[in-house]
Amino acid sequence: MSPEEVPMTAAFPDARELSPLQMAYLGDTLQDLYVRSRLVAHRAPVGQMHRRAVRFVSCEAQASMLERLQDTLTDAEADMVRRGRNAQAKHAAPRHAQAADYQKATGLETLWGWLYVTGQRERLDALMSAALSEMEELWAKQS
């Protein structure tokens, strides 16, 4: 199938047919889109937006976001995080990341992907907003 033939809105298979790593793959892109959308809304210079985006999508930042959200997750959401955290990627964590942070980040990304694939967009928006708002507050204090 050529790129022109791929529909812009994909019909996903049942979420039970996707691996946690497939959902994390999608969740990583979703978080990047949310982060970049928020940064563009602030109308900062592109270089500054890029530096902030990199900080928001780092393993360390995602692990911190997950720790802050943990108590607000439903049982099904917590199970999805656990499945993502325990998934065995075929590659090692990036050199600059702690293995535990990388596992937590993968769990969070799996949650984002699962919420998206299962059509829980309002819940995705709410959790993503909560996660990003807290990180924005932390970095505003550091700036």
Chain position carrying tokens 């497939």: 22
Least confident of 2-6, 21-25, 77-81: 2-6
- Region 17-36: what's the mean pLDDT? 92
Residue 8 counted as domain residue: no
Active site residue 28: yes
Total number of domains in the chain: 1
- Sign of the C-alpha dihedral computed for residues 54, 136, 122 and 104 taken in this order: positive
Any idea what the CATH number is for the domain that residue 72 is in? 1.10.1520.10
**Of the residues 14, 28, 75, 101, which is catalytic?**
28
3-state SS assignment for residue 25: helix
Question: Per the domain annotation, does 31 fall within a domain?
Answer: yes
Does residue 56 lie within any of the structural domains? yes
Structural domain that includes position 76: 19-142
Question: Of 104, 93, 37, 27, which is closest to residue 64 (Cα–Cα)?
Answer: 104
DSSP, res 94: P
DSSP class of 13:
P
Domain assignment of residue 68, yes or no: yes
In the chain, % of residues over pLDDT 70: 81
106 — pLDDT class (breaks 50, 70, 90): very high
- 6 part of a folded domain: no
- Residue 36's region, left for phi above 0, alpha for psi from -120 to 50, else beta, is alpha
Non-local (6+) Cβ contacts of 78 within 8 A are 70
Given the structure tokens 């360390």, which residue do they identify?
Answer: 60
Sequence-distant (6+) residues with CB within 8 A of 46 are: none
Residue 2 inside a domain? The answer is: no
